[in-house]
Amino acid sequence: MIFRLLLDPDCEESVTAQVHARTPLISEIERLIAQDSLADQIPGYIGDEITMLEIAGVECFAAENDRTYAVYQDGTRYLIRKRLCELEKRLPGHFERISKSAIANWKQIARFKVQLSGAVDAVFKCGYEECISRRCFADLKRRYGL
């Protein structure tokens, strides 16, 4: 493998790799580049496809079966290769933890739905629903005057 690094402060940054096949090293390089490329985007995976998701378009990040998913504004669920605690540190202020397994984009919540049991669900603009834990809902009520 040949590695070339060209430093030119006047040109736009880009990374191109010409390889024979995908290897774990190539996947790791891709992950590192995607992770640090833009602060307002995050890579989302569906199968072998990688889509750069605008953070503002993500309605909710949810953990399920030891995997983290981003629910995008069109309702599509993308696999995210970060844990919720890592995302929480990186996300802008309008993202709030609503349970141990979910972080919601406050700007994308359409309404709240109260269940007969007293539980409260956040209903997002795309129609996705996520339960808000009682402790988080109490904090949100105090903070936003709900």
Q: What is the pLDDT of residues 49-82, one digit of tens each?
A: 999 999 999 999 999 999 999 999 999 999 999 9
* Number of domains comprising the chain: 1
Cα–Cα–Cα angle for 56, 14, 85, nearest 5°?
A: 40
Share of the chain above pLDDT 70, in %: 93
Residue 111 pairs in a beta bridge with 123
Instruction: Give me the residue label for tokens 């199968």.
Output: 47
Contact indicator for 94, 101 with CB cutoff of 8 Å: no
Assign residue 109 the CATH number of its domain.
2.40.50.1020
* Domain assignment of residue 40, yes or no: no
Q: How distant is the alpha carbon of residue 53 from its chain centre?
A: 8
DSSP class of residue 133?
A: P
* Domain assignment of residue 46, yes or no: no
* Domain assignment of residue 17, yes or no: no
Categorize the per-residue pLDDT at 5 as very low, low, confident or very high, splitting at 50, 70 and 90: confident
The range of the structural domain enclosing residue 130 comes to 55-144
pLDDT, tens digit, 9 for 90 and up, residues 11-31: 777 778 888 888 888 877 776
* Domain assignment of residue 109, yes or no: yes
* Domain assignment of residue 8, yes or no: no
Please determine, for residue 138, whether its predicted confidence score (pLDDT) is greater than 70: yes
In the chain, what is the straight-line distance between the N-terminal and C-terminal CA atoms, in Å?
58
With a CB cutoff of 8 Å and minimum separation 6, the contacts of 98 are 104, 122, 130, 131, 132, 133, 136, 137, 140
Residue 103, CB-side half-sphere exposure with 13 Å CA sphere: 22
Amino acid at 130: E
* Domain assignment of residue 6, yes or no: no
* Domain assignment of residue 97, yes or no: yes
* Domain assignment of residue 93, yes or no: yes
* Predicted structure pTM score: 0.69
